[in-house]
Copies of this chain bind each other. A is one copy, B any other.
Amino acid sequence: MRKTQRLLMTGAAGTIGQQIREGLADYAKTVRLSDVADLGEPGAHEEIVTCDLTDADAVRETVKGCDAILHFGGISTENRADLIHPVNIDGTYHLYEAARKEGARRILFASSNHVIGFHSRETRLTASSPIRPDSNYGVSKAYGEALASMYWDKYGIETLILRIGSCFPEPKDRRMMATWMSSADMLRLIGVMLEVPRLGCPIVYGVSDNEESWWDNSETAYLGWKPRDSSARFAHLFADDPAQDPDDPEVIYQGGKFAKAGHFED
């Protein structure tokens, strides 16, 4: 695979960033990592940048010289809207403006299943399904998806909109048997996103080839990404859990705890 010259990953200190950081070396000559948190020492092929997404100028500086961007930065769980908006909304806007001005043409936008979290588990979703966000967080990701769509239609900047399920080393609860995505599948998807001749602006559900499946990626099969891992090998972790109530909102809705929770207040 042809290597990207310089690949930027925002939010590199986060849960996903930590899992995939090492693997990115395969895809780019230089990997630029940014976060507000500490990123440790740079590896041989790495550059480290401290960048607050709410600072438009800093974002532009961070983007400068990069061919492609993995935008994992931002708040990635439910919180107060006045904390989420500056980072996930204004910050994402700054990132796309920086890409437009600096000529970065290909972006992975880390969206979330919480954009569609109020669909019931029985509802099979595709890239065309209506959104039903389940939280302030989910609404902020819906903004990012809309923004990516506009930058594609208007400026030709390609985005892989990735509605990530649960990207952890292993599933943390019974629900994640359906939503789990391995970091290896994430890396393979990043490879595809960088290499495919035409990316466009597809919506992809970020999930491994689990047995329980809520999401159908067939509309975006042109990308050539087929997950190879499965949560099946973790089934034993939940074998002794008590049975769940099928009428519990946490069980009814795809968003799980996010859909069940009341309003977030500090």
Contact = CB atoms under 8 A, between A and B. Distances in A.
Interface of A: 1-2, 81-82, 85, 89-90, 93, 97, 100, 115, 118, 120-122, 124, 128, 130-136, 138-139, 142-143, 146-147, 149-150, 153-156, 158, 174-175, 177-178, 196-200, 202, 210-214, 216, 218-226, 239-244, 246-247, 251-252, 259, 263
A204 to B, nearest CB: 12
B118 A131 contact: no
A116 to B, nearest CB: 10
Contacts of A136: 150
A133 B124 CA distance: 23
A199 B239 CA distance: 17
| Copies of this chain, whole number | 6
Q: Which 8 A-B pairs have CB atoms at the shortest separation, nearest pair first?
A: A212-B224, A142-B146, A118-B153, A211-B224, A198-B246, A213-B221, A197-B244, A122-B200
A210 B130 CA distance: 27
Among A139, A174, A240, chain B packs the most CB atoms within 10 A around the CB of: A139
Interface of A is mostly: loop
Contacts of A2: 239-243
Contact of A218 (B89, B216, B242, B251): B216
Nearest to A118: B153
Given A118-B154, A142-B143, A150-B139, A219 B128 contact: no
Contacts of A221: 124, 212-214, 216
B197 A246 contact: yes
A28 to B, nearest CB: 13
Contacts of A211: 224-226
A148 B132 CA distance: 10
